[in-house]
Structures are given as structure tokens and as C-alpha cells.
A and B are shown apart, each in its own frame.
Chain A
């Protein structure tokens, strides 16, 4: 049996279970008596253990086993949840995550046994279960559970003595293999394995038995077949013929070492009867028997577990563990896991389709007005709406909620709370907000930086907060929502806010700006200095943040994703970092403009309005051109100058001004002409070209020409 085909599912499900464990532990810490929560944890740990065992990851299985032991005691009311227990459990989760990462990378769990965690768990177990007898009871508890069925085993054994291997029908080649092995002096054994009826992962146990036996010998044939066993198409026993040089006792011991095995019976068989069977060429009776037995098995298996579940608590737990799996199946059928690369391919094809559509549009518009065919126009309009819808659908497929990224933050804040010795609370909203998969994968780190920043620099120590009349527990708010073609993520804290004077002093001290410059800079400009590389205002360098990397990394990462980050702060009241990200990365609506005979695209999302102003309306302030727009004075940027080209327009003519915005700031971009709105596919300029910050990419126009995309954010 090959487990590699299950590896991906294993990784996905383990991730889900670990996340669920983490979430529930957080809740449990707040409400130590929440029974639903304890049950949920138990179920997740139990499934984890089962899956790790199935896949043969022993270390992972051991760790989850010990964690599960603790949960069992908690569930039975034998011990209370305490902070130190939660700490150890979280360490355990971290260790599980490490196993998982290692499995993901190398499909091997690594060699770290995490003994200290296991020891800590058992120690807590001992202490909690009370004094001297607890000491004995705790280690005994685990073996006891396994020992009980073992104790029953001898009782059951005689009944099943002899095993069922003689029911296996051998075909000619198998019989001859066995006979040949016997002739060579090898031992041929018949083995029958009985699995506990409460076992919920029969196939997995059977697999482990096979694995153990195959280490010492060769399984020639089994009943039911290995395929049926893999598919769980058997009751609670299976038989096999094994060729091995080892004594039978060793094989039986190996098979018994697998948990949830009730009994193993085996003995050497006389191969001469195979020869006889070979001669007669038929063995009708056993065949009929075995068929009868295997056929009703799947149905009976289900019925039996259900019937048993009423009896004992243990079985109830087992059924509970199985339940989520059963309900999981129909859901899985409604969704499909798709490789992100396939979606990328699909996206590329849609992009090409849109380029082709654009060429068609430009080809028909260049035809003289009179020759235009009404029908062609209609079809092109239809094609346009189809491609736009197609694009939207593909985009939606690629969208995932940011939940997958933010769900790890409560845990992080919890850890920070202990590390920084500050009380704080994280409030999250808008986790369901969706973003392109590639963006979601990238925003985790920047968000983490911002949250740490808020926790470390933003929030004051608790005593200071009380002095200032603020609630003792600081709050950090993570809020996400969609705003037009953007997704906005805010990280807000009610801490001290940014001290502009301190930043100013620091900047001057570091030589980033001169005192003269500082005097004329606005507060906002000063705060923006924080986003410069190697600029940290933390008075103390801590483990959490303050190594001078952070905000600049956040900024560059967000900008690489086509977004931007800004900050608003009020001294003494707190600060808000706002990340703005584009909903899509590949295809955008843009305004095409002409400057100096060249065509450029400006993302429609960043455009506020378009103004037509007389040349005389341009005023000079501090030798910089500005214009007035509805009472606001906004700076003017002549795109021709920025792009090193010459405007082809008469300077006395009216100016065409595209007013772009970023957050609250505006700027007027002067262009020669407007061409119109167009859906464009963003292409990268490649890694060879650099130094052109203002150009964020290129696109292929309908006529095959390349137009550059101007990043209006850089102009502001």
C-alpha cells in the first residue's frame, strides 16, 4: 500500500486540525469550563493522532497521543485547565506544525522527538491527577487503555484458535510460491489478525500490521485482498500467508504492537496441502465461505459501530471522531481543489483573449464609418461583455478570504502578551473579505509586522495606561473591507500614537533630514519617514520589534503587490495603519492618455476626476505649479517632464488634468490628450529593466503596440 497519494490530503487536513486546535485552545483559555470546546479539541487531537499513525509518522503520533491523554483527563473532569497547561499545549502545537512543515518539504517528519514537551505534558498530568497515586496512575492510564483489550485477548483467542487463514483461496502461482519457500527451508505461516471493534481506522491499523509484518517477511496473499483492506472492505479480522525466516512469535508480537489490535493468531502451515490443492485444482468450499464473509462486511461494519456506540463511552468518542469525517465527504464533493498554477494558466488565457478582443475592437474602429457593419458591431459588443464576465469569474475563482492569513494572529497576540507583559486584546472583523490568492499569500508578513509594531511600540505598559485613564487592557483592531476596486486592511491600536517630535529628533540625529528641512515638513511628511529603511524609533530594541527593519519592509512588500500603506496617528490616542490593496493583479480598467505622442495607461482606480483648466489657472507656490480644485489647492505634475519627453501641445491651450488620489492626498497630472477607457492586461517589464519606478508595468494594446502603465501613486 502506498501512502504518498494521501500525503496532500493529510497535509491539508492536518493544517485544518492544527488551526482548529489553536482556535479552540484560545477559547478554552478564556472559558476553561467550555465543554463544547473541550470536546472539539479532543476530536481534533484524536483525528490528528489517527492520521499521523496512518501515514506512519510515529513522532507526530506520539506527541498527539500524549496531548490527547491530557484532553481525555480534562474532558472527564479529572483535571482543570490552567495557564501553564495551555502554554505547554501551544508548544505542542508549534512542534506539530514543525513536523508538518518538514513533512511538506521532505515528506519526512524529521528526527525531533520533542521529548521535553511530552515530558512536560506527562508531568502536568501527574501533578493534576493528585499526589502519589496520580504518579502511578498517569503513566498507567495510557498503557491501561491498551492493556485492557490485551488482557481480554487470551480469552478471545481460544475461540478463534486456528485462525481463518485456511479460508484463503490460493491460486496456482501463490501455492507454488509458498511450496517453493518451504522447500528452501523458509517458514510459511498463516496469520489472522483481529482488530478491536471500536476501532475507527481499521484500514490504517491493518496497514500498519502489514507494514510491521513485511519488515520481517513477505506477505504472499491476504484475505480480503490488500485493495479491499485499503478500502476498509472487511470486518474486524483479516488473514494472510507469510513467508519469513523469523519465528512466528516475533511476527505475532510485531503485529500486536500496533494499537487497537485485539488479537493475532498464527502458526506454521504445512505446505504439502497446497500441493494437494494444486493437484485437484479446486477448493470450492472455502471460496464460497470467504465470499459470504466479505460481502456483507461493509454494511455490517457500519451497523456494528453504531450499535456499539450506545454501550461504552469510549466507543461514543470513537463515533464522534468519525462523525465529522462522514459529514465532510458530501461537502468535499461540491468543491474542487485546484492547483494555483492551473488557475494562473487560465488567467493567462483570459488575458490573451482580452488582448485579442481589444485588437478586434481597434480593427473595426479603424474601418471607415460608412463601411461599418451593424451586425459585426453588435457581436463585438457581445464579445466584450462576455470577456469581461469571464474575467470576473476567473478572478472570483482565485479569490480567497483573508481568514487563512489572519486566523493565526490571535495566537500571536496571546504570545506577545506574555512576552511583553502587557495586557492586550485583538479584535478582528472582516475576515471574510476576499483577495486574490497570490496577494493573500503575501500579506501575512506585513500584517504581522504591523500587529507586532502596535503591540510593542503602540500600546503603553498597563500601569501607564491606567495612569492616563485608559482601560488597562489595550486593544488592537484588525479590520478588513472592500472599497471599490480595493481591499482595505486597517490595523488600529488605542496606544500612545506616534510622537512626531520624537521622530523628527531621531531623523535629524540620524542625518535623514536636516533641522531646516524638519522645520518646514508637515506632520504627515515626518511620519512618512518611518517607512524609510532602517528607521526605528523604539527606545528599547526588543525581541519583538525594533531592529530597524519593519515598516520599510511592510511598505516595499505592499507596494510590490501594487498597493500602498499609510498611517494616521493622534498622540496619546493611538494610530491606524491602513493597507490598500488592488482587488486584482492582472487585468485592470485604465484610462489611456497621450503624452508627447506616446500612449500611457493610468489605473482607473487611482483617478478622482478629469479637469479641463485654462493655462492661466496654473499658479506658482514655492516655485511649484499648483491649481485650485473646488477650494483645494493641489500640486500639478506635468507628465511629459516626469517621463522625459516633450509635450506636443501649445502651452497656451487649455490643460487636460487627470486628478489622481491616494488616500487623502491629490495631485493633478497634466497630459496632452485623453484616449479613453480600456480594460488592460498588466505585463511586467521583466527583471532586466530597472530604475523606472514611475512605470509599474506595460500592456499590449489592440493594435499590437506596447503602452506603459504609469503608477500614479509615485506622482503623489
Chain B
């Protein structure tokens, strides 16, 4: 009986790879299939009169790509650029690329459904609006980001 459970009796859990990034003290996970590239911090050209969570645009191999501050979008204090600040280039399906500023890129983890808990929706906390679940990995907790909501036009209510 116990052995059968371990073998999963034919139930195959979906495994998803996440890129773990750090913002402040918290760790977040981005589904790896959306990640196109990770580049070092570079000069960001400011674009006047745009949404506050956009830092501006960068040149990535001849393409002009907008860069978003994940911190501002999630209601955290503004970014401080360091040596380990990275721009994660995200591509959602066929959509155009977009860069996301993170404090640090940590590692890639593989999570299956059993390690992911759903989170309770809290309208007061802006962060929970963008989170699909919390993953457990080696005792640490990773908030899994919903990239469609973060990048999408929809403003948090």
C-alpha cells in the first residue's frame, strides 16, 4: 500500500522549472518558459511621461526593449542598482520582449504540483495580486509570479 503511494500509481505530477530571483529579502519564481535571456544591468534610457513602473528602454542586440521595475510594480521601495542587479528578458508567447529588473538571479528549481500551495487572495497586499502560488524548496519559500498579470495591461485594483 505504502509502496504504491510512493510509485504514484500512475498519477504523474506536472513538473515546472522556475527561475528563482530575489527582490529584497524575498524569493520569487518565474516560469522558465517565459525567460528569453538574462542580461547584466546596463544604461537604461529614461522615457518621459510613461507608467511609473517602467524605468525606460534598453538596447538588446539592436532591439529597443522596455524595462519594468518589478519592485515598483509590486509596491516595494525603488531599485538600488548593484553588481548583481540583472535584467530578465521575458517573452510571453509571441508577444514582444520586455525586461524586468531584479535584485539578483539565484538558481533554477524544479517544482511539481505537490510542492505548490495556493495563496489566499488579499486585496490590500499588492504583491499577492501577482502571485499564483507558493512553492516549497529545501525549506525555503518561493512566491511564484504570474507573468501575464505582471506584464499585462491590467492595473491592480
Contacts and interface: CB of A to CB of B under 8 A. Distances in A.
A690 B51 contact: yes
Taking residues whose C-beta sits less than 8 angstroms from the other chain, chain A's interface range is: 20 to 34
Contacts of B43: 705
Nearest to A701: B59
Contacts of A692: 47-50
B45 interface: yes
A698 B48 contact: no
Contacts of A182: none
B62 A700 contact: yes
A597 to B, nearest CB: 10
Contact of A694 (B49, B63, B97): B49
B50 to A, nearest CB: 5
A285 interface: no
A686 B48 contact: no
Interface of B: 43, 45-51, 54, 56-59, 62-66, 68, 95-98, 151
Given A691-B50, A706-B57, 19 more contacts: A598-B45, A684-B64, A685-B47, A685-B57, A686-B65, A686-B96, A687-B95, A688-B96, A688-B151, A689-B66, A698-B45, A698-B64, A700-B59, A700-B62, A705-B59, A706-B58, A706-B64, A708-B47, A708-B57
A352 B64 CA distance: 13
B48 A643 contact: yes
Interface residues of A: mostly helix, strand, loop or mixed? loop
Interface of A: 352, 355, 598, 642-645, 683-695, 698-700, 704-708
B48 A694 contact: yes
B48 A700 contact: no
A689 to B, nearest CB: 5
Contacts of B50: 689-692
What is the interface of chain B mostly: helix, strand, loop, or mixed? strand
Contact of A645 (B45, B48, B57, B66): B48
B59 A704 contact: yes
Contact of A700 (B56, B64, B95): B64
B66 A695 contact: no
A685 B62 contact: no
B143 to A, nearest CB: 22
A692 B66 CA distance: 13
21 contacts: A598-B46, A645-B46, A645-B48, A683-B63, A683-B64, A686-B64, A686-B97, A687-B96, A688-B68, A688-B98, A689-B57, A691-B49, A695-B47, A698-B47, A700-B64, A705-B43, A705-B45, A706-B56, A706-B58, A706-B59, A708-B47
Contacts of A683: 63-64
A685 B66 CA distance: 7
Contacts of B59: 700, 704-706
Nearest to A351: B62
